[in-house]
Amino acid sequence: MQYKFRNSFFAIIVSLLVICPGSMTQAEQSPTTKKTTATPTSPAAPASTTTTKSATAPASTTATKSGTTSTGGKVATVNGTAISQEQFDSALSYQREIAGMQGVTITAEQLPELKYELIEGLIGTELLYQESQKSGIKVEEKEINEAYEANKQKANFKTDAEFQEALKQSNKSIASYRAEIKQGLAIDHFVKTKFTDKTVISDSEAKKYYDDNPGYFRQPAQVRVSHIMISAPSTADQSKKDDAKKKIEDVMKRVKSGEDFSALAGEVSEDASSRNNGGDLGYISKGQAPQSFEDAAFALKKGDTSDIVKTDAGYHVIKVTDKTDARTVSYEEAKKDIVENLKTSKVNSNVNKYIKELKIKSTIVTFPVTK
């Protein structure tokens, strides 16, 4: 069994390197995306959520909480460098996509604040990139190519044509996407050199965190599950749902006939995030999956397979590969994750402070919303 914290990462890097809408996030849509495992409390989020205005900018050029629209195809300038409408639209699309995957709707009331924060995040990202260039950071074409291919594979696109079409749907060209990758890698290298490599978490800090937060290390009963999913979203038309039902019934027959579950998942499952792992979703606790999925999984014995289970994502056949009782995770088990997450939190905090300092020294112009 693997114990792990909820991940904490640099949103600035994620926003640059992740692919946004629709088909671009198909690999992330699994029925168990709701995570509740605890993590060290992170300080203020990094650049993508900062809201500090430039202290030296004239009042007419500071960001407004009403959001923005393009002026000549740009939403802001940072020391003379434009942040394009395309960058802003991509960031907003990504936030909408993530919210949708988590079952959250961004309301009209929330949108102005979100737009404001996205602009501030893009400004912070540009400032970090400019600093990376001043410090002499270079990104090789080989790195860009490797990241491009890795992202394509992670999203489970089988051909370049599929990947390029998905980029097009996200209002990205290959050139602009590769530029985003280059910028993200440069920032990553800069942050690593200036902050991450210089940040150390002592044993006493890690132990204190463990002792001060006992509730974070109480692990509930869990089951490790694999599944085969045939997609049939609740929004799909009836013919698609009927086709999906027939497919899952055929899958069920093959499971009952004794076919290897892992191999079958790799062949037919439509959950791209788990298909290549034989359908393995890892360990889940109660409250981390749709109710029908959870009820079926926890009712099974180790090694057993469910009947057909319906969720809003589609139809599933579930297999339980392990079960564990509730317990308290020991310090030795948790130590590595504690250190990594405390370090990330400390680096995030230092990066945020650094961005605020850069904003004070920079010429930043943003444009008010007109729609």
Write out the residue range of the structural domain in which residue 243 sits.
Answer: 221-325
Domain identity same for 193 and 227: no
Max mean pLDDT among 58-62, 185-189, 364-368 falls in 185-189
Asked whether residue 294 is assigned to any structural domain, the reply reads yes
Domain identity same for 180 and 246: no
12-39: average pLDDT? 34
Judge whether residue 267 has pLDDT over 50.
yes
Domain identity same for 234 and 193: no
The residue count of the chain comes to 371
Domain identity same for 97 and 238: no
Domain identity same for 236 and 134: no
Domain identity same for 32 and 96: yes
CATH number at residue 261: 3.10.50.40
Q: Rounded to 5 degrees, what are φ and ψ at 39?
A: -145, 160
Domain identity same for 239 and 186: no
Q: Computed over its alpha carbons, how large is the radius of gyration of the chain?
A: 23
Report DSSP letters for 199-228, one per residue: ----HHHHHHHHHH-GGGGEEPPEEEEEEE
Domain identity same for 339 and 262: no
Asked whether residue 52 is assigned to any structural domain, the reply reads yes
Instruction: Check: CB of residue 95 under 8 Å from CB of residue 122.
Output: no
User: How many domains does the chain fold into?
Assistant: 2
Q: Collapse the DSSP code of 26 into the 3-class scheme (helix H, G, I; strand E, B; otherwise coil) and give the result.
A: helix
Domain identity same for 132 and 247: no
| Residue where the block lists tokens 């045939």 | 230
Asked whether residue 105 is assigned to any structural domain, the reply reads yes
pLDDT digits (tens, 9 = 90+) for 201-211: 999 999 999 99
Long-range pairs of 243-248 with CB within 8 A, sequence gap ≥ 24: 244/314, 244/315, 245/315, 247/315, 248/308, 248/314, 248/315, 248/316, 248/317
How is residue 80 written in tokens? 């003379």
Residue 115 is predicted with a pLDDT of 92
Asked whether residue 208 is assigned to any structural domain, the reply reads no
Judge whether residue 119 has pLDDT over 70.
yes
The one-letter amino acid code at 220 reads P
CATH number at residue 106: 1.10.4030.10
Asked whether residue 3 is assigned to any structural domain, the reply reads no
Q: What is the pTM of this model?
A: 0.64
Domain identity same for 148 and 31: yes
Domain identity same for 117 and 199: yes
Asked whether residue 114 is assigned to any structural domain, the reply reads yes
Long-range pairs of 23-26 with CB within 8 A, sequence gap ≥ 24: 23/166, 23/169, 24/97, 24/155, 24/166, 24/167, 24/169, 24/170, 25/97, 25/101, 25/155, 26/155, 26/156, 26/272
Q: Which residues pair with 78 in a beta bridge?
A: 81, 364
pLDDT digits (tens, 9 = 90+) for 153-204: 776 676 778 888 888 777 678 888 899 999 999 999 999 999 999 999 999 9
How is residue 164 written in tokens? 């390029």
Tell me the three-class secondary structure of 156-202, residue by residue: CCCCHHHHHHHHHHCCCCHHHHHHHHHHHHHHHHHHHHHCHHHCCCC
Q: Residues near 299 by Cβ (< 8 Å), separated by ≥ 6?
A: 306
Residue 164 is predicted with a pLDDT of 81
Q: If you average pLDDT over every residue of the chain, what do you get?
A: 81
Residue 101 is predicted with a pLDDT of 65
Residue 370 is predicted with a pLDDT of 47
| Residue where the block lists tokens 């737009």 | 115
Asked whether residue 77 is assigned to any structural domain, the reply reads yes
Instruction: Check: CB of residue 367 under 8 Å from CB of residue 65.
Output: no
Q: Which residues pair with 77 in a beta bridge?
A: 82, 365
Asked whether residue 209 is assigned to any structural domain, the reply reads no
Domain identity same for 105 and 16: yes
